[in-house]
Structure 1
C-alpha cells in the first residue's frame, strides 16, 4: 500500500482539542511534581537532585502511560510531544495537514499547564527552587552535548514507536514502552542535559521562567531526532521487508489491526 493511501485525512478539531487538554494536564502535573520534590518547604522535599529525578522519572512515566490510555489519549493519539507527532507523520500514518494544529495545541497546552501550576501552588512555583519546572543542563554540559543527547533520546523512542505500531500483538505494550523511555530519560539524562526530549515539556516552563537561552536546543533537537529516527525506520523496513505502522495512536491497534478508540 502506498504512503498516500495509508496516511489518514486531516484529524477532526476535537482531536486537536484533546491533545491540548492532555498536554495541559501533563505540564500541570510536572510542575506539581517538581514543586513537591524540590521546594524546600515541601514535606516531600529531596535535596539531592539525582535522587529527586530518580523519583520524578518513574512518576512522569506512569503519568504519561495513564494519559495515553485515557479517553482523551485514545482519541487524539496521546502524543503530547511535537517530536512524536512529526515522527508518525514521517512514518506516513499521520496527516501532514494536521501536524501544525497538533504542535500548536501541544505548545499552548504547555504554557497553560505551567501557568495553572503557578495558580494552584502559588509563588513557590515561580521561585528559584521550582522556576516553573524549567530544565537546565548541568554546568559542564556544552550546547552541542545537550543537543546530541536530546536528539538521541527521541531517535531511540521513534524507532521503538515505529516498530510497536506495526505489530498489534506488541502494540498494546507501546504506552508502557513510551513511559519507560521517559522515565529512563529523566533519570539518566535529567542531571546532565535536563532530560526533556519533548519541546512541549520545556516550552511553557522556559517561557514563563524567562529561561530562553537554551530553549532553541530543547525545541529543535527532539524534532531532528524524530526526523532521523523516521529515516532509519524507513531504511530498516525497506531493507528487511518488515511491516509499516498501522496507526498514529500510541494506545496502539487492536489484535486485528483496528485502531484503538
Structure 2
C-alpha cells in the first residue's frame, strides 16, 4: 500500500523525467505490483472473514469495534511485511492507486509507470476477491462478511465518508513524502503501516476506514455494494493528490523565488 521509493531499491531519490510509454521494466514491475496487490488484498479479506465474519448476530457494538480494531492493526502489520519484503522493495509496494498517483505528483514515480500500476492494482483487487470467494466459499459471500466489502455506519453520509477518506490519505501521503526527505533514518514501513492500522481502528465502524480504492473495488463488485462507492474510489485519490501537490509546491517554491531575483 505504500512504499516510499521512486524506483526499486531507493527511498528518497526523485524519479527522472521520461515519456509516458512504459518500457519492459515498467511492465515487469507492474506485474509484480499485481501479484503483491492480489496477495495483500487476499490477506486483508481473509482477516476480515475471520475477524469480523465470525461475530455473532447479537454482538455488541463494543465487541464489533474491538474486532475491527484488531483486524485493522493486523492489516497494518501485514503492510509492513509486504513493504519490507524483497518483492515489495522491488516494486515499491504501493498496492494503492492513491499512493501511486501521489508519488507521481510528488516526483517519485515516473509517469510511464502510473497507468500500468493502476491497472495492476485494480486487477489485483478483483482477483483477490475472487480467490477469497473460492478459498472461503459461502462464508465469504454471506453476511456479515460479504466479500469483506466496506460499509459506513447507518446514518453516515457519503460526504462524511469522502471527507474522512480524503483526510486520511492526505495525512499518510504527507508522511510518505516528508519523512524520507527530512528524516531518512525513521522506519518508514512501520510508520505507514501503523498509520493505516490506526485509521482503520478509529474509523472502521464509522466510515469503513478503507483508505484504498483497491481495498473497496473488488469486494464491492462481488458483493453488489454500490452505496457511496464513488466516495471510496475517488476521495482517497483526491486527498492523496492534494497533499502531494501541496508538498511538491512547497518544496519547489524557494527555487522559483531565487530564480526571479
State whether TM-score is above 0.5. Answer: yes
Matched, 1:161 2:176: yes
The C-alpha deviation readout for 1:49-101, integer Å capped at 9, x for no partner, is 21111101110000011001111111110000000000000011211122111
The offset of 1:118, in angstroms, is: 1.1
Q: Is the 8 A contact 2:174 2:244 kept in 1?
A: yes
Matched, 1:178 2:192: yes
Residue in structure 2 matched with residue 34 of structure 1 by the alignment: 48
Distance 2:239 2:138 in 1: 35
Distance 2:243 2:138 in 1: 40
Residue in structure 1 matched with residue 29 of structure 2 by the alignment: 15
- Match for residue 82 of structure 1 among 80, 89, 97: 97
Greater displacement, 3-12 / 112-121: 3-12
Residue in structure 2 matched with residue 119 of structure 1 by the alignment: 134
Residue in structure 2 matched with residue 151 of structure 1 by the alignment: 166
Distance 1:97 1:21 in 2: 19
Distance 2:165 2:14 in 1: 30
Distance 1:78 1:8 in 2: 21
Distance 2:52 2:241 in 1: 34
Q: Against the structure 1 CA distance between its residues 54 and 75, is the aligned structure 2 distance closer, same or farther, given a 3 Å change threshold?
A: same
Residue in structure 2 matched with residue 253 of structure 1 by the alignment: none
Distance 2:157 2:30 in 1: 36
Residue in structure 2 matched with residue 6 of structure 1 by the alignment: 16
The offset of 1:46, in angstroms, is: 9.2
Q: Is the 8 A contact 1:24 1:110 kept in 2?
A: yes
Greater displacement, 48-57 / 4-13: 4-13
Residue in structure 2 matched with residue 63 of structure 1 by the alignment: 78
- Match for residue 112 of structure 2 among 74, 90, 97: 97
Distance 2:249 2:114 in 1: 23
Residue in structure 1 matched with residue 225 of structure 2 by the alignment: 211
Normalised TM-score (structure 2): 0.84
- Match for residue 204 of structure 2 among 165, 168, 190: 190
Matched residues, number? 236
The offset of 1:237, in angstroms, is: 2.2
Normalised TM-score (structure 1): 0.84
Q: Is the 8 A contact 2:15 2:108 kept in 1?
A: no
The offset of 1:126, in angstroms, is: 0.2
Residue in structure 1 matched with residue 258 of structure 2 by the alignment: none
Unpaired segments ≥5 residues, structure 2: 1-12, 256-261
Distance 2:84 2:218 in 1: 24
Q: Against the structure 1 CA distance between its residues 235 and 209, is the aligned structure 2 distance closer, same or farther, given a 3 Å change threshold?
A: same
